[in-house]
Amino acid sequence: MDLKLLLTTFGMIFLAELGDKTQLATFFLSANYDSKISIFIGSAGALVVCSLIAVFFGAEISKFIPQNYIKIGSGVFFIAVGVWILFSAIRTI
């Protein structure tokens, strides 16, 4: 197991999810219901399944599309989403 990769992945996902809709949904569910362990297991399980799907599809797609194209495509996607969010925010002002 590559410990550096494990810690890098943990850090990236932790920071990306911090304050995200997933965390807020879990926060509000926890505030409304008494079964904290059920909420924890449900939210942790959902994140694990989503991560499993991402790892599986990432591994499969990388067999057909070169890694450089995937990096460029994901970069363009994130920039496009950022621009879209920026213009959406400006329109609501």
Q: How many beta carbons lie within 10 A of that of residue 39, not counting itself? A: 19
Mean local confidence (pLDDT), 9-36: 90
CA atoms within 13 A on the CB side of 44: 6
At 17, the pLDDT band (50, 70, 90 cuts) reads: confident
Question: Domain coordinates of the chain in residue numbers?
Answer: 1-61, 66-93
Give CA–CA dist 91/74, Å, rounded. Answer: 26
Write out the two tokens for 58.
């990432």
pTM above 0.85, yes or no: no
Q: What is the pLDDT of residues 40-88, one digit of tens each?
A: 999 999 999 999 999 999 999 999 999 999 999 999 999 999 999 898 8
Mean local confidence (pLDDT), 8-24: 87
Write out the two tokens for 22.
């997933």
Give CA–CA dist 73/8, Å, rounded. Answer: 21
